[in-house]
Structure 1
Amino acid sequence: VVQHDIVWVWPNADPQYKDIITKKKPPYIPVLDDPSFSKLMGNRDIPYGYEVLVENLMDPAHVPYAHYGIMRTRTPTVKVDREGGRPLDMKVKKLDINGFLGKQDWGSSNFIAPCIFHAFADVEVDQENRRLSLIFMCVPVSPGNSRLIWTFPRNFGVWIDKIVPRWIFHIGQNLILDSDLYLLHVEERKIMEIGATNWQKACFVPTKSDALVVGFRRWFNKYAGGEINWKGKYSGALPPSPPREQLMDRYWSHVVNCKSCNTAHKGLKALEVILQIMSVVLIGIVAVTKQNMISMVVKTTMASMAIICFAASKWLAHFIYKNFHYHDYNHAF
């Protein structure tokens, strides 16, 4: 069934579930069907598991550190460190098999088990009636791999999405995902060494800002047995870690599956080739043209244009590689 422009599938081919849609429907999020809100979506295949993906999205305390200099965060009234971290008062309410509710100073959140995390500002917090939601859909793919679908509907600045191409937004969003991707890939392996159900022995989560992470792990252990049931398709063992460039690849994990990014990639690659051809052609014209046929000014101009085209093609090649293929991130800032 298609809902919110997403295809939902019941993960069981048993004939008894043939008409499951008549009994159980996908989670409905009203804001995604509200025409007054923008609704740009993105997706990416992630090289770490579903449970690590979910808990990372539920953890706002890591943002000033893992995404330092990339994501804007609220400036604390009292700066306690250079990154701008601050205490966060968060709590979990009403945890059951269907998920749980979360509360923090700026708003609320809802974990709709097993795959949706929806965070939103409370009405009483924003008196200007500006609404912004952060909606993440986390899909288990295989041990050590998951898929993230995201959308951030808002009812202000909607015109921006009609002017700015979607791939521009995806460059920034992929940069955020990449900035802690390697850390989370390694974290998952550290947890697996101890055992997923004993995750608390690998992690130190003493503060109120850890409430949602602890809540999710409690839900995951209680209602899912602390692991994904792969129905015999996978053993549960994590695959070997690939080279860093392959691990953080953007092209195969996002670009080929995104119409906007794929179109932009093809267009920019074509422009790169055109610039290279123009550079060669201009140099060729200058080289074969007899001295008395064109003035020195024209020759100099053509040579300069050739250099500019060549330099532009090199810059564009770097831009394409960095934004559509691989962008490493160094936390030693």
Structure 2
Amino acid sequence: MQSCKSLKIHFTEEKSIFIMEALTTVSTVTPPSITRAHFSNPIFSLSFAHKISKPHLLNITQYPKSTSTKFNVISPSVPTEAAAPPEEETETGSLDQEEKFDWFSHWYPLMPVCDLDKRAPRGMKVLGLDVVVWWDKNQNEWRVFDDRCPHRLAPLSEGRIDQWGRLQCVYHGWCFGGSGDCKLIPQAPLDGPPVHSFPKACVGVYPCTVQYGIVWFWPSTDPQYKDILKKKKPPYIPELAHPSYAFQTYYRDIPYGLIEKGGKFGQKAPEEDVLIFLCIPVSPGNSRLITVIPRHLWVDVFYSKWKNHMTQNLIVDSDLYLLRIQEEKVLKAGPLNWQKVSFVPAKADGNVVLFRKWLKKYAGGQFDWGTKFNGALPPIPPREQFFDRYWSHVVNCSTCNGAYKRFKALKISLQMFSVASVAIMAATKPGMISVAARNTIAVAAILCFVGSKWLSHFIYKTFHFHDYNHAFK
């Protein structure tokens, strides 16, 4: 049995409500009634399955029977059915070391491969660790290094991959091979001692692998974990492993550590889909969400991937501010005392209660950042920065970044055509062109100008900032 099972919730009614909560610092749902061995990887993985009534790519071949644990935690027909209020839990002493969850002894997803560029390194933060992901063309593998050059601690993610396929620090030109060994120190004399071969010249290497089209890494550079992949693999998700399942991924950094989503009353459930969330702790108050979405080949023809991602952005935006404020209040009350300030009597809150109990039992109610952070949340930035889409998603998504550049090019083209049209009319003497032609050019110039202004607003609202006000939704 693999180390991590996916949580699968089956909807039996058309109307449904779904509420999920997972601290980014936990990123897993582990009901306390289940043994820890069943959920030993802190990646929150959630999949939905619904009865299918129309032809779909997923039903071409039947899936092998999944070993996923199934929970019927929602009663859609009675969405507000009351249950006995859970007993309040108060803070207790320190955790038993045998039961304490080790956050740094598990695989974590970093980034979908489709959004990585083999020509340039990519810097990322996970679990408070600064790492750099880059393509080793000599071994045809992705590598994950500590994002600091051992020379003067400059970020390697700001470097380049040289013509020999080595990761080069652009500060002083040090070059590193795929195993982390230093290949070149330009400042060292050729006839001097081989200082590049000294152990202190090497960069820290994290074990990594590619699974389900996503780069995963083990958050330790300790040599004892060099071959950890042979002993322990990333969590197995049977739906993604099946060859008949075609999917696409969505990625976004979100400025809160608590992830909680809710459906709407009367919302009709999809016919059949498998939706998987991978929630990764980044730093206090920040997390990363990778969503695996099934591909509908016919829909893809008429509905571009970037449009799908913008829809996902809107969904994430809807709860951003609410959850950030909620997280502050929970932290203020004390992570172990969240039930003192919350009232969760409905069955729809079942997952939340179970998750919080697991978090308390195995992690003391919160992620253990060690000496990296004190756990305090950063101040809430201005709304335009808080709801920013460009730096949290677009710049890292190859599809959305491509669409963004195309729209910008179109906007510039419209502006240039508008200016050129005005210039032509200004430079043309009366009588050289007909009145009809002159009017046509004028109308075209106006339309291009108006179109460029509308497109500028569309680009900003779609790819940069879209304030979400629930009062007007």
Taking structure 1 as the reference length, the TM-score comes to: 0.76
Aligned to 1:20: 228
Deviations 1:148-194 (A, max 9, x none): 0001226xx33323553211111111011001111111111111111
What amino acid maps onto 1:184 in structure 2? Answer: L
User: In the alignment, which of 267, 270, 290 is matched to residue 149 of structure 1?
Assistant: 290
User: In the alignment, which of 402, 414, 421 is matched to residue 275 of structure 1?
Assistant: 414
Aligned to 1:69: none
Aligned to 1:45: 253
Aligned to 2:466: 327
What amino acid maps onto 1:327 in structure 2? Answer: H
User: In the alignment, which of 73, 89, 105 is matched to residue 267 of structure 2?
Assistant: 73
CA contact (8 A) 1:144 1:238 kept: yes
User: In the alignment, which of 206, 209, 222 is matched to residue 345 of structure 2?
Assistant: 206
Any idea what SS the aligned residue of 1:241 has? coil
Structure 1 segments of 4 or more deviating over 4 A?
none
More displaced 10-residue stretch of structure 1: 157-166 or 300-309: 157-166
Alpha-carbon distance in 2 for matches of 1:330, 1:163: 29
Aligned to 2:280: 139
Any idea what SS the aligned residue of 1:204 has? coil
Overall identity of the aligned pairs, in %: 56
User: In the alignment, which of 298, 314, 325 is matched to residue 453 of structure 2?
Assistant: 314
Any idea what SS the aligned residue of 2:294 has? coil
After TM superposition, the structure 1 = structure 2 runs for residues 103-252 of structure 1, keeping only pairs within 5 Å, are 131-153=272-294, 157-161=296-300, 164-252=303-391
Alpha-carbon distance in 2 for matches of 1:200, 1:19: 42
Deviations 1:277-308 (A, max 9, x none): 10011111112211111111111111000000
Structure 1, unaligned runs of 5 or more = 66-71, 75-105, 107-120, 122-129
Alpha-carbon distance in 2 for matches of 1:4, 1:163: 25
Alpha-carbon distance in 2 for matches of 1:30, 1:161: 24
The answer as to 2:204 corresponding to 1:63 is no
More displaced 10-residue stretch of structure 1: 240-249 or 33-42: 33-42
CA contact (8 A) 2:414 2:451 kept: yes
What amino acid maps onto 2:255 in structure 1? Answer: P
Any idea what SS the aligned residue of 1:290 has? coil
Work out which structure has the larger RCO, using CA pairs closer than 8 Å and 6 or more positions apart in sequence.
Answer: 2
Alpha-carbon distance in 2 for matches of 1:331, 1:163: 29
Deviations 1:121-158 (A, max 9, x none): 9xxxxxxxx6311100000000000000001226xx33
More displaced 10-residue stretch of structure 1: 26-35 or 232-241: 26-35
CA contact (8 A) 2:418 2:444 kept: yes
Alpha-carbon distance in 1 for matches of 2:253, 2:369: 18
Any idea what SS the aligned residue of 2:272 has? coil
Any idea what SS the aligned residue of 1:40 has? strand
More displaced 10-residue stretch of structure 1: 135-144 or 161-170: 161-170
The answer as to 2:365 corresponding to 1:263 is no
| Max Rg structure | 2
Any idea what SS the aligned residue of 1:64 has? coil
What amino acid maps onto 2:281 in structure 1? Answer: P
What amino acid maps onto 1:134 in structure 2? Answer: L
